[in-house]
Amino acid sequence: MSKATLQIDGMHCAGCVNAVDKQLESLQGVKSAQVNLATESAVVEYEGDLTMDDFAEAIAKGGFTLVRNDSETVSRAEQTEEREQRKYDTARRNMIWSWVPVVIMVMWMLPMWLTGYMFLGPVVMEIAMITLSGFAIIVPGWETVKSAWRSTRNLSPNMDVLIAMGSLASLSTGFVALLHHLRLAPDFHSFAMIGGMIMAFHLTGRFIETKAKGSASQAIRKLLTLGAKEASVIRDGQEIKIPVNELKKGDVMMVRPGEKIPTDGEIIEGQSSLDESLATGESMPVEKSEGDEVIGATLNINSVLKVKATKIGSETFLNQVIRMVEEAQGSKIPIQDFADRVTRVFVPAVLALALLTLTAWLVFPGFFGGLVEWAASFIPWVNPELGPVALAFYAMIAVLVIACPCALGLATPTALMVGSGLGAENGILIRKGEAIQVMKDVDAIVLDKTGTITKGKPEVTDVLTFGDMDETRLLELAATVENNSEHPLARAVVEAARQRGVEPGKSTGFENVTGKGVKAILSDGAVGVGTASLMEELGVEIAAEPSTQKEQLEEQAKTAVYVSYAGNLIGLIGIADEVKEDSKQAISELKKLGLKTIMLTGDNEKTGKAIAQKVGIDEVIAGVLPDQKSEEIRKLQESGHMVAMVGDGINDAPALTRADVGIAIGTGTDVAIESGDIVLVKGDLPGVLRAIKLSNATFKKIKQNLFWAFFYNLVMIPLAIIGLLHPLLAEAAMAFSSINVVFNSRRLGKTDLK
């Protein structure tokens, strides 16, 4: 299964989303298409050999344009900025030109409103109103009219159909009134001027919405511009400057104080402080030295560094983050499903309702006329003197322009767009939008021990020997076997040996016995390092004293491993993984939120409970093998809990996938962790609190937006049906509805997650 993120130009309402969705899903091989109005993008999952040309053709059938971006961040930033500016300029130009004829019409009508005198007579006046209003509808409003026709032709009517029909219906009354003035038709009130005003209000709303949406999407644009544009590299012994997109893996870069790291790499010379706030949200500088990973676009503060490029282009941390944020912004969450179902039938339903309104007014003029006469006493714009036919058109036009599917279409994606951008700024990457909704129902949080609660950098604290074995020889034997393993405990043993000047020797037949330890064969005997179960498997007897010593170490929150050599127990190594400074406070805050806290560890029960007691965790599930962790999550779910799992994106992948919400701890420059719904770039527990706060704040905004969108339509449409809304007020209210949703979502960006 392949996935493509497509940028689409020309979408501006929920009907547009449905049209694009319909065309994309009609392509053979497309399994799903998630079209997002706020980001004007689509995430398509497909099988087979579909190309960008295929997608472009399908999108064009719906009346829209596929925007093709270069893959490099800098050029994408420039293209995105240019595209946003072009949209803004077009919206502003259309708004200004729509108001020119409206202002002329108002100035022309002003003497008549003030004195009752009609300048140049009714025929010339009506022709002028039709001409000026027609200009506003056809010239600056041409894209709206064209979009309306296109969507109707594709059987996916959008909001522009309502605006175009409302404007043109108003304009058409001017032609009937003109025939009356020429004595070719009965008396009829003209709403021609209102047609142009409807379009002017609509284009003004479109301009404000474009500006607001541009501000709401500033987080992704900010990410796009963070990267360095040039790099100083050493080639053929000379230092030269090249564009970042020309870097190759293995290039050695010179990074001076005040410069950004051009791309992800490893320090091969030098020591400096780096500002990594763009990656982790942490404002304090981080000390880096030879051998450490550095993240592209982070700022070198005080010393010259030589850095070897290890990742370029789409592999870099920054590009991974941008891709994840874009996918999160383009995703849909369960609460949006109902809104989507409504918007699919909204425009046809409103068209039917408008026709029904016109018919009802013409069939029951007495009933509706009585309502209008009653309302005229306290609503200044209600005019019962218009006559039944004019009032029927008045109500129909108001119904057409008041209905607003846009607010429904924007309610969820604008909040997700701002929320995911805010998360990225604070080191929280939302991979799956549905996690935002599920998180609010989580009542149990399962925490992996190593690297989540503890620092994940264990150190040897105790070396106990038995018989005539000495500590140095014990560490040499243990390190020789452990040197074949990447496990954190193994690395600790190897490091302890090297600190004593002992290098690991050679071994053969290395075997990692899952959940028990490791074993290998040396030139003069077999060595095992691990649990009592491994010793039993190797036929090694454990006396009472070593067993007691092991228990004592475990009661001190240390992991104790036996070491055997040539069938005999020769020692015991105590390893401690220090608890992170902020773990206890974070767990206390999680419990204040009413969350049950559970530690899941492969370590023994005594060590697990000792650490749990230090940090205040409620429950410990110990001795769990990696492939058993997902089973423990399942048991919690079956007991009625909604579970969030926090752990390593690699070793804990099955458990993260099984949990209702998987929160993966980021590992350096690799944040593309497929098993996590949410990825914490900075692997700390306060990040979990920030993620919960972000999820709750984002979902709250989504609910507010959806409430406003539904409430607005439920209240305003009935008022329009009974003739209590002037069409201009209806259009202004419709524009305000969408703008309100966007501005409400923008306020989410000011949320303090600290």
By annotation, the residues acting in catalysis are 448
Grouping H, G, I as helix, E, B as strand and the rest as coil, residue 141 is coil
Q: How far is CA 540 from CA 418, 531, 563, 570, 604, in A?
A: 60, 11, 10, 10, 20
Is residue 6 within 8 Å of 66, Cβ to Cβ? Answer: yes
Q: Give the integer Cα–Cα distance in Å for 487 and 561.
A: 13
The closest alpha carbon to 277, from 224, 232, 223, belongs to 223
Is residue 391 within 8 Å of 368, Cβ to Cβ? Answer: yes
Question: Beta strand pairing status for 428-430 and 41-46?
Answer: unpaired
Question: Beta strand pairing status for 2-9 and 41-46?
Answer: antiparallel
Is residue 132 within 8 Å of 97, Cβ to Cβ? Answer: no
Q: Give the integer Cα–Cα distance in Å for 178 and 172.
A: 10
Q: Give the integer Cα–Cα distance in Å for 753 and 624.
A: 34
Grouping H, G, I as helix, E, B as strand and the rest as coil, residue 497 is helix
Give the pair of three-digit tokens for residue 30.
Answer: 């497309």
Compute how many other C-beta atoms are within 10 angstroms of the C-beta atom of residue 89. Answer: 11
Strand extents, DSSP E, 414-489: 428-430, 444-448, 459-465
Q: How far is CA 260 from CA 77, 169, 244, 278, 295, in A?
A: 17, 59, 11, 11, 9
Angle (deg, nearest 10), helices 159-181 and 334-363: 20
Give the pair of three-digit tokens for residue 673.
Answer: 């962790």
Q: What angle do CA 427, 650, 310 make, to 5 degrees?
A: 65
Q: What angle do CA 646, 683, 271 make, to 5 degrees?
A: 165
Q: Give the integer Cα–Cα distance in Å for 506 and 254.
A: 38
- b/e sequence 199-228, b meaning 16+ C-beta within 10 Å: bbbbbbbbbbbbbbbbebbebbbebbebbb
Question: Beta strand pairing status for 596-600 and 444-448?
Answer: parallel
Is residue 26 within 8 Å of 14, Cβ to Cβ? Answer: no
Grouping H, G, I as helix, E, B as strand and the rest as coil, residue 727 is helix
Please name the residues in contact with 624: beta carbons below 8 A apart, sequence gap of 6 or more.
600, 601, 602, 632
